[in-house]
Structure 1
Amino acid sequence: MKRKSSLLIRKVLKHKTSLIVTICVCYSLLMLTNNLYEAEDRRIEVKLAKGDNTEISKNLSRQDTSQDNDTETIMKSRKQNLVKQCYNRINVGRSDEDNFKAHMQFVPDDKMVYCGIEKVGSTFWRRLIQLLYKHEIRSPYSIKPWDCMNNYKSFQSQKLDDYHDILKENSKFLFVRDPYSRLLSGYLDKIFSPNPYYWNLIGSKAVAFTRKQKNYCGHDVTFLEMVEYFIHTEEQNKDRDGHFLPATDHCRPCLVQYDYIGNMETFTDDVYFILKEFNLGNYTSVLKDFKRDSILDSISDTVQTFRDVRSMVTRCLSSYGGLKRIWRKLQIRGIIAEQIQFPFTSKDSTNLKLTTATFKNAIINAHIESKDRYNLKEQKRKYLISAYNLIPIATMNKLQKIFQNDFQIFGYDKRPDYLYQPRHKNIADIFKL
């Protein structure tokens, strides 16, 4: 028996040698490829401009993608609070039907309905939903931020009965954010950071309201002035902008009663959880470096936007002033440490050598150094406190009233101690450069 087996093996080997060699070669290549991918996960490679490829080989901790029972418990608690707060409330908010429908997206194949709210990760979700429509599994960050509205399909084309049926038959989710943090984020992106479109849309009107000056550029609206103008638009129910108005106005949570409520404060964990709930866990594989990719995407978007609008910015603000504002915005957002000074001079800003790629590379290097040496999370919180210390208590109380539905329905503290007391006197204006 042993001899027959031996002969059989020799016979197979004789005729199948090429197949075995092929299998061995493929296996070796597979192992080599896996090792290369693992090595790539430990580095950041940022492609700047043509011919300019900067590789930053800093080790970054990978985001923990495991979803445990804690997230599910938190999700249930948020939904229970929504049901409790919406008891005997037919609806909240003042936005019209068209605004509501414009913020709702439906993905039929995945039985998913998403309500997007500006300044709460909506750009991320709108890019991801594009991939769901195409059945493509790749990083949402591979789509440029300014292309997030491509092929955007909202409820606007749906008749009343049709979209009510969609809401009944499919699972629904939204993401929310602490109203104070969201309001500051809107100011940083739309007013403080060079943004001529919003300087004209909001800034000039804010100046006309607070300073009684007309035909003004609107580029230097202070945070206090923006808050006062925002309160005015809410009280008058006029000239309201989606980046600032309450989340409950967009998504009608008491009418829709969402199945999942994600928070910006726990964005990564909540994204993973919701994807798995919709049987889309395979997308988590392209989000393994979530935080890193998000920061690099934000940096790229900020720099690209400045490059595109630079000529319009200089009608109101110098290039040097615009670049310094971007640097400070990234410090307030906790991307660059406050200890790292702006590395360019006024002369540099007019020098052709200070290209978009050079500026972007400087920001990335500053972020890497900041991440390794400083507590950026604590710095972000400190700047939030400093910003609201510039707002009088009477004005803060008006904000409470405007956002009261958001505070109650989504479980945020309307009067957090860290913003209300103790109030520091003669605090420095973090927006002055």
Structure 2
Amino acid sequence: MEPYLSSTVAEQKVFPSVTNVQHHGAQITSSSSTNIGHCWIFRMFIMGTWRSLRLAFILGSLFVTLLIITYWDDVGGFNLFPQQDRKLAHSSMLPASFTTTFMGVMTARKQRIMDVCSQKYFPGSIPAFEQIPIRELDHLIVDDKHKIIYCYVPKVACTNWKRVMAVLSQSLLSPKTGKPYTEVAAIPADFIHQISMFPTFAKLLGQRGSPSRHMMAGKLQNYTKFLFVRDPFVRLISAFRDKFERPNELFYSRFGKDIILRYGNLSGEVPKTVAKAHAAGFQPTFLQFILYLLDEAREKKILNDHWRQVNSLCHPCQMNYDFIGQLETLETDAEQLLKLLQVDHLVQFPSGQENHTLASWERDWFGQIPVSMITELYKLYQPDFELFGYPEPVNVLHHQ
């Protein structure tokens, strides 16, 4: 027994805890259980904390990703003007006062532009907005006070819409009073067409250079954008009547004399003033005007704004317009637009159209134009027909 006792004594000296276990087994068992419980609780706490941290990290990443997607343009992403997401993102902007029928009409107009831009005429060839030259942005009038962008199209009620924009933005001062105009009808038509008086995207770029591109991106995203259009061929008739049938010194000197000389089979000079030309019977004919348009297009020249395609003036494939009005439904569209802009209590659109060119006149005006020329002319303006839902003018394309 002595060796065993010696061994036991030695163990007690070297491993006292072991000896304690041998003599107090029950007490150690209780203590071990308590320690194991504490370890399990600690382990579960660590695992729970880790799961919570992982979930928080995932949710945080998703939130940051959504912020980047939402505000990518505003923070100056790689492309300030990416190809528009052609979904009807702004349909929620339509006020409750819109009738269900009108909401359907507007949604269809916007959807049509989306479809034509993405499929038929411009696949892979639409430049980004920042690639559009400055001079082609001068039709985009900006009202920062009410957050509105209006692309004006000559011969599509633009005189009155410019008047509305001038009253809203208070950007046009009366020469008589030196104060901003407050009544739409009080603004003279000749005065309102002095575009230098309006803030435009072209002016913004000209004043501030490329840094203003970022500012433009924010306006395009946050402002309400609208334009008005009309049947392309009827617009041509209206432009011809206004600029060449009526005495217009500017257009006679810039275009009329050249058209008469080129297509009128004249060997001598034409009168220097429009008054003398009209008195002597020198006026461009509609046929000569069409010949001029086709030659200008063949030579890749930029057309005058009054007969230039709306697609080139307002860039509907790059700008996600919130409202597309049509001259054929001007009164209804104007009323609804002012409600959308929430300015119908501030300004009213003038009612009535003087000397209005009617769509029913198309057949008479194009009756003396060869079908081959009309077909070529239609191809020149076909994007406008398609983008804005105007039917192919079958009555003039096949009148012979």
- Class of the TM-score when normalised by the shorter of the 2 chains: 0.5 to 0.7
Does 1:184 find its partner at 2:228?
no
**Offset at residue 90 of structure 1 (A):** 4.8
Matching residue's letter, 1:145: A
**1:239–1:407 CA distance, 2 compared to 1 (3 A):** closer
Deviations 1:340-380 (A, max 9, x none): xxxxxxxxxxxxxxxxxxxxxxxxxxxxxxxxxxxxxxxx4
**Counterparts of 1:252 and 1:277 in 2: how far apart (Å)?**
22
State the match for 1:69 in structure 2: 100
State the SS of the aligned residue for 1:73. helix
Deviations 1:223-249 (A, max 9, x none): 010011011112212262110111101
**1:122–1:381 CA distance, 2 compared to 1 (3 A):** closer
Kept in 1, the 8 Å contact 2:146–2:169? The answer is no
Does 1:134 find its partner at 2:170?
yes
Does 1:147 find its partner at 2:158?
no
Does 1:273 find its partner at 2:336?
yes
Alignment of 1:418-433 (within 5 A): 418-423=395-400
State the match for 1:175 in structure 2: 228
Does 1:112 find its partner at 2:112?
no
State the match for 2:34 in structure 1: none
**1:268–1:89 CA distance, 2 compared to 1 (3 A):** farther
Deviations 1:81-107 (A, max 9, x none): 0111111455389x9623322100111
**Counterparts of 1:113 and 1:387 in 2: how far apart (Å)?**
35
Kept in 1, the 8 Å contact 2:371–2:397? The answer is yes
Deviations 1:124-182 (A, max 9, x none): 11111110012989542221111114531111232333222211221211111110000
Does 1:405 find its partner at 2:383?
yes
**Counterparts of 2:124 and 2:313 in 1: how far apart (Å)?**
16
State the SS of the aligned residue for 1:71. helix
**1:196–1:257 CA distance, 2 compared to 1 (3 A):** same
**Counterparts of 1:421 and 1:386 in 2: how far apart (Å)?**
13
State the match for 1:207 in structure 2: 260
State the match for 1:224 in structure 2: 287
Matching residue's letter, 1:144: P
TM-score between the two structures when normalised by the length of structure 1: 0.58
Deviations 1:267-308 (A, max 9, x none): 111111111011112146x44x711xx43xxxxxxxxxxxxx
**1:398–1:420 CA distance, 2 compared to 1 (3 A):** closer
Unmatched tracts of structure 1, length 5 or more: 1-65, 296-329, 335-379, 424-433
Of 136, 150, 156 in structure 1, the residue corresponding to residue 202 of structure 2 is 156
**Counterparts of 1:244 and 1:195 in 2: how far apart (Å)?**
16
- What is the aligned residue count? 271
Identity %, equivalent residues: 24
Kept in 1, the 8 Å contact 2:371–2:399? The answer is no
Of 310, 314, 320 in structure 2, the residue corresponding to residue 257 of structure 1 is 320
**Counterparts of 1:97 and 1:236 in 2: how far apart (Å)?**
20
**Counterparts of 1:92 and 1:73 in 2: how far apart (Å)?**
30
**Counterparts of 1:137 and 1:149 in 2: how far apart (Å)?**
15
Kept in 1, the 8 Å contact 2:323–2:337? The answer is yes
- The two structures, once aligned, show a CA RMSD in angstroms of 2.6
**Counterparts of 2:290 and 2:127 in 1: how far apart (Å)?**
22
Structure with the greater alpha carbon radius of gyration: 2
Deviations 1:5-51 (A, max 9, x none): xxxxxxxxxxxxxxxxxxxxxxxxxxxxxxxxxxxxxxxxxxxxxxx
**Offset at residue 193 of structure 1 (A):** 1.1
**1:394–1:421 CA distance, 2 compared to 1 (3 A):** closer
**1:181–1:270 CA distance, 2 compared to 1 (3 A):** same
**Counterparts of 2:296 and 2:160 in 1: how far apart (Å)?**
28
State the match for 2:368 in structure 1: 390
Kept in 1, the 8 Å contact 2:112–2:387? The answer is yes
State the match for 2:126 in structure 1: 91
Kept in 2, the 8 Å contact 1:89–1:254? The answer is no
State the SS of the aligned residue for 1:110. coil
**1:382–1:407 CA distance, 2 compared to 1 (3 A):** closer
State the match for 1:11 in structure 2: none
**Counterparts of 2:359 and 2:156 in 1: how far apart (Å)?**
17
State the SS of the aligned residue for 1:173. strand
**Counterparts of 1:381 and 1:181 in 2: how far apart (Å)?**
6
**Counterparts of 1:134 and 1:195 in 2: how far apart (Å)?**
30
**Counterparts of 2:157 and 2:288 in 1: how far apart (Å)?**
26
**Counterparts of 1:264 and 1:407 in 2: how far apart (Å)?**
14
**Counterparts of 1:189 and 1:133 in 2: how far apart (Å)?**
28
State the match for 1:309 in structure 2: none
**1:142–1:180 CA distance, 2 compared to 1 (3 A):** same
Does 1:79 find its partner at 2:139?
no
Kept in 1, the 8 Å contact 2:374–2:396? The answer is no
